[in-house]
Amino acid sequence: MMRILAVDTSTRSCSVAIVDGSELLAEIISGNGQTHSRHLMAMIHSALEMAGMNLSMTDGLAFTRGPGSFTGLRIGISTILGLSTATRKPIVGVSGLDALAMQAAAPDMTICPLIDGRRNEVYCARYRWVNGELVKEAAEQVLSPELAISGLNTPALFAGNGAQLYQSLIRDRLGDFARFAPNCQNTLRASTIAWISMKRFETGDVDDIYRFEPMYIRRLDAKIPAPFRPL
């Protein structure tokens, strides 16, 4: 069993969780829209107290590495790097799109998590469950909503705050092929980040705190929008 402290600060919501193997010990989610720097450490302390633990009792620290709000990501990542430096606990960064896809389990269709990227764009990727494993079928990108859903001609499940924001457009373009996750699955949860990170902690595939870089996902050429590309 591994005890993992995980945080997510990549979107408007802020989440902290502590898991012990398959068991969720504590989780706190705030969606009040305030800057995460105002309450992240307090949420971490509260989650540890709820779990009956202190930071030294954890085995690893996990966090959302992107994509999402630049400011939010910097707050979460810098906090975890600081805690790792102080405690020498290993760290693992997890894709927020991977986590949303994991939350919105749909074994019989394409899963399309969308995170609001502002400026009429979304961070997006595509996934499918294959033999009980979540497989990424298209690369993580930042695109207009229209390009993010291009080429879909079978039922697809959309999740995340980007799916909520552009739900009408998606329905208009895809008709009966458009399916939407329930509201409870649109908020990225730190517990999901923790469970995704578990295998990497167990195999020692951890991130280097001195070389780690956030996954901002920027288009190389903003002048020429490309259609959704497969992996």
Q: pTM for the full model?
A: 0.91
Q: What angle do the packed helices 40-51 and 70-87 form, to 10 degrees?
A: 50
Residue 70 φ/ψ, nearest 5 degrees: -55, -45
Question: Could you give the CA distance from residue 172 to residue 109 in angstroms, rounded to a whole number?
Answer: 19
Per-residue pLDDT of the chain (231 residues; tens, 9 = 90+): 799 999 999 999 999 999 999 999 999 999 877 778 889 999 999 999 999 999 999 999 999 999 999 999 999 999 999 999 999 999 999 999 999 999 987 888 999 999 999 999 999 999 999 988 999 998 899 999 999 999 999 999 999 999 999 999 999 999 999 999 999 999 999 999 999 999 999 999 999 999 998 898 854 333 334 444 555
The CATH homologous superfamily to which domain 97-185 belongs is ATPase, nucleotide binding domain (3.30.420.40)
Contacts of 55 (CB under 8 A, 6+ apart): 5, 48, 83, 87, 89
16 touches 47 (CB < 8 A) = yes
CA atoms within 13 A on the CB side of 145: 22
161 touches 116 (CB < 8 A) = yes
* Bond preceding residue 214 cis, omega within 30 of 0: no
- How many Cβ atoms from other residues are within 10 Å of residue 203's Cβ? 8
Can you tell me which residue has the tokens 């899963």?
111
CA atoms within 13 A on the CB side of 37: 6
Is 3-96+188-203 a domain of CATH 3.30.1130.10?
A: no
Domain locations in the chain?
Answer: 3-96+188-203, 97-185
Residue 64 φ/ψ, nearest 5 degrees: -80, 125
Domains 3-96+188-203 and 97-185 share a fold: yes
Question: Could you give the CA distance from residue 13 to residue 203 in angstroms, rounded to a whole number?
Answer: 30
